[in-house]
Amino acid sequence: MSEYTTGELAKMFDVSIRTIQFYDKKGILKPSHISENGKRIYTEEDVSRLKLILMLKNLGLPLKAIGEILASDNSMIVLDLLLEQRLRAAKDQVKISRNQIKMIESIKHNLPKINQVSLRTIDDIDKIMSNKKALRKVHMKMVILGLLIDVAEIGGLVWGIKKGQWVPFILIMLLAIIFAIWITKYYFNSVNYICPNCNYEFRPKFRAAFFSNHNPKARKLVCPNCHQKNYCIEVYAGEADVKIAE
């Protein structure tokens, strides 16, 4: 039968000599015998035992649990129970990781749209997420109401063409103009803008906002704080106490 010293066993499994000595100290891997010159000698059975120890350790079991398995007369039952516990813990960790992934993806989805807004505390992230959701609701409300008006206009036009009666279409168009004025005012009362130069949040006058150059996420406005003209980031107004630009 082959025999191995502590160093040879450590080299075989790519672990340190101190690891083998530690397992000996903990009583989970005792040498088969001590040689005349004091060296610890391990046999093939000890090699198999060390393989089992390292496998269980890689599964995340602590040394105390491994010792309980090796010392038990019903080691297979004990192993099954311990692995079941580890399996549940691993599944819980996977669930936590999935939730973290969703949170990360959600934050990343919003950050590029507000990348010029300063971030100072963890509360700012919650504010950012809430703000984007509220702003999205404003946009959706405008789209839905706009589509309803479009349907009414088309219906009035079709009626006029088929029946030759244009009064309903004219009335719908007048209502559409009134609605367009109202929805525009609603929109500009629902949003503020943040200056990318000084991070100042403000609400521009209606005329300045209406006639300014813009893209889906920003408008080119003059900041009332630093007086620079930049593409300012659009955010939901909420209850914020902001400066009304002159």
Q: Tokens 């929805």 sit at which residue?
A: 183
237: nearest Cα among 153, 150, 102, 137: 137
* Ramachandran quadrant class, 27 (left: phi over 0; alpha: psi -120 to 50; beta: rest): left
Structure tokens at 8: 């040879």
pLDDT attached to residue 128: 61
pLDDT attached to residue 130: 66
pLDDT attached to residue 164: 83
pLDDT attached to residue 18: 93
pLDDT attached to residue 112: 47
Q: Which residue type does 78 have?
A: V
pLDDT attached to residue 129: 61
Q: Is the pTM of this model over 0.85?
A: no
Structure tokens at 71: 């010392």
pLDDT attached to residue 239: 55
d(CA 186, CA 167): 28
Q: How many CB atoms lie within 10 A of CB 235?
A: 23
According to DSSP, the β-strands at 201-203 and 243-244 are: parallel
pLDDT attached to residue 133: 74
235: nearest Cα among 102, 118, 103: 118
Structure tokens at 86: 């580890």
Regions in the chain scoring below 50 on pLDDT:
112, 114-116, 122, 240-244, 246
